[in-house]
A and B are shown apart, each in its own frame.
Chain A
Amino acid sequence: MAQKESTFLNMTLTLFVVTFVAATVLGFVHDLTKADIALAKQKAQQKAIESVLPAFDTLGESYKMLPEDGADSLEFFPAYDASQQLVGVAVKTYTKSGFSGLISIMAGFSPDGIITGYEVLEHKETPGLGSKMNAWFKDQSKPGQNIIGKNPGTSKFEVKKDGGDVDAITASTITSRAFLEAVVRAYQTYQSAQEQPAISNNPTNEGGQS
């Protein structure tokens, strides 16, 4: 079981060859999986959009907009029915004020700004506490905390502690506050998107984008 001598040349050569072979193999695997990785991401996004909006036929082209108070842009996914009427818009929004940082949410809005659904996409909130936001604000049997069917323009989307209309998750006020902040951010940016001349002249969107 003789081993190669540890001369400087042998060592550098070996390390170089090993790294080169490894990198090449990886490049190959990367090419193989590239398409499937993109597909998996797209499927997850599609699933999220479908779960927050009522039934639709086609997705229009997505667009991005910077919210007034944020550094990162939100992504908008308009959805249309068979007759090209706007069914609603799914908005990928975020907040950085979560208990453990970033929370990413897909929120669905009807053309008049009523929330049709939401899905929490990404978060690091405490399991069993903040993580309850996945289901807490959708609970139709508890109108105090349910936000589906409400309009951030007409109800106060803040936790009751801050004078708003929404019941926070028990023992998770910070997460609840952050969650609502993300939803309100989506709503406000959605409103300003609608008020822009290129999209619609009428603040209450009458359907479709030209």
Chain B
Amino acid sequence: MNQLQNFTKGFIKENPVFVLLLGMCPTLGVTSSAINGLGMGLATTFVLVMANLVVSLIKNVIPSKVRIPSFIVIIAAFVTVVELTMQAYLPSLFESLGLFIPLIVVNCVVLGRAEAFASKNTIVSSIIDGLGMGLGFSFALTLLGAAREFLGSGKIFDTIIFPEDYGMLLFVLAPGAFIVLGYLIALINRLNKA
């Protein structure tokens, strides 16, 4: 596939969240608001791109049996970089995302792409794949976050659309995450079939 297809597949056709069903934990855990979803999505994209880059770079020097642990260490390193940088320069986002930032290291999207793509493709392809998948992931999280924030508190990105008292609190809580995601996946499946 050409690079344009490589880049855009992550948005709808092979969207990591809606289609590949990867990275469920942060998807449900941080999407109580649009900005949290976006922040997490972008942090994950950074890790995805950097990890894909490094893995693709050194794929020929890693013995096959030890490749998964090596990939994991590389990913963990970049996740820690994100952690430290956020703590220093974006402290409020750091507080909101909390536990889920170090959990980027076990986000199946990241390890999945490193193993399925970056370890078998060129550096440029891997970077583009990482970028496309990451942005697709961010799209999914922001969409879910916006939907939950809207239904739950009448706001999107903190802009009030209708008064909070008319919001359905359930959507900002755990059950709402599962339910909204379920319906969104159904929607995307429908779109993909069309």
Contact = CB atoms under 8 A, between A and B. Distances in A.
Contact of A14 (B66, B85, B88): B66
A19 interface: yes
B84 A37 contact: yes
B70 A14 contact: yes
Given A15-B69, A40-B87, A41-B91, A6 B64 contact: yes
| Chain B: interface size category | 20 to 34
Given A4-B63, A18-B73, A37 B172 contact: no
Given A15-B69, A128-B167, A2 B88 contact: no
A127 B88 contact: no
Interface string A29-58: 110010011011100100000000000000
A29 B86 CA distance: 12
Given A29-B84, A126-B173, A19 B73 contact: yes
A136 to B, nearest CB: 13
A22 B66 CA distance: 16
Interface stretch (B22-30, B75-83, B129-137): B75-83
- Report the interface size class on chain A: 20 to 34
A129 B77 CA distance: 38
Contact of A1 (B60, B70, B169): B60
A25 interface: yes
B172 A128 contact: yes
Given A6-B64, A14-B70, A15-B66, A22 B152 contact: no
Interface of B: 32, 59-66, 69-70, 73-74, 76-77, 80-81, 84-85, 87-89, 91, 95, 152-153, 164, 167, 169, 172-173
14 contacts: A3-B60, A4-B60, A4-B62, A6-B65, A6-B66, A10-B66, A15-B69, A18-B62, A18-B73, A29-B80, A33-B88, A41-B91, A127-B172, A128-B169
